[in-house]
Chains A and B, each alone.
Chain A
Amino acid sequence: MPINEPSANLPLADVLRAANGLVAAKLIEDWALGGALAAIYYVEPFTTYDADIFFIPADKGLTAGIPAIYAHLQSQGWQVEREHLVVRGFPVQFLAAGGLTEEAVREAERIEFEGVPAKVFRAEHIVAIAASVGRQKDKARIEQLLQQADLDKTKLENILQRHKLKLPML
């Protein structure tokens, strides 16, 4: 099926394969799945309208190599819609990692999804990132992870302390 043909299913394998392709093309150093889809790795499924791929740039300049990433994916049939790259009708954001999110990429869990090797943020990092952002939906995500994920409390405390973060009142 051509890469820009809308899919009835969520085309996550295509997203992960493309991220691996960016590493192979030396456009990024490393990457991991973050955001809602990473949370869903640990909690019940819920509706989300995009995928967040956090990457460690190979290009340490101001643009983090984003123009080259867009050009590479567009040459493979991906489309651009505002801040998203779109594959099979599903929007994907490529976000340059730094600080806490860079640590989350480096320490992400290795998984395989439909035969595609991938990395997904650890639950403790997802909680810490949500605590650092602090919107209402981030508080809901923290609550969901605390209730449903098998969190390593010591690891979470350590991350929160090192990044000077506190869990919000729930």
Chain B
Amino acid sequence: MKLEMRQKLAREPFAEKIRKVGQLIRLAKTFPRRAAKSPPAAK
């Protein structure tokens, strides 16, 4: 993300930012990171 966009997000009201953190937590729980697949074993 561009620095300008991140600075704009930083200037949002705290309550709005906390609402977004809540959304991020829900997303992370819904779509947990999977461990990277290991490459197929060499034959």
Pick the contact of B20 from A41, A45, A114 — CB < 8 Å? Answer: A45
Pick the contact of B10 from A9, A12, A43, A111 — CB < 8 Å? Answer: A43
B21 touches A47 (CB 8 A): yes
Pick the contact of B14 from A44, A111, A149 — CB < 8 Å? Answer: A111
B6 touches A148 (CB 8 A): yes
Q: Mark contacts of B17-31 with chain A using CB atoms, 8 A cut-off: 1 yes-contact digit, 0 otherwise.
A: 111111011101000
B24 touches A9 (CB 8 A): no
B14 touches A113 (CB 8 A): yes
A9 touches B14 (CB 8 A): no
Distance of A9 Cα from B15 Cα, bound (Å): 11
B28 touches A47 (CB 8 A): yes
Distance of A43 Cα from B5 Cα, bound (Å): 11
A48 touches B21 (CB 8 A): yes
Nearest-Cβ distance from residue B28 to partner chain A, whole angstroms: 5
B7 touches A147 (CB 8 A): yes
**Contact A147:B22 (CB < 8 A) given known A42-B10, A114-B15:** no
Distance of A34 Cα from B24 Cα, bound (Å): 20
Decide yes or no whether A10 CB sits under 8 A from chain B.
Answer: yes
A45 touches B21 (CB 8 A): yes
Distance of A148 Cα from B14 Cα, bound (Å): 14
Q: Which residues of A contact B (CB under 8 A)?
A: 8-10, 12, 37, 40-49, 111, 113-114, 147-149
Q: Which residues of B contact A (CB under 8 A)?
A: 3, 6-7, 9-10, 12, 14-15, 17-22, 24-26, 28
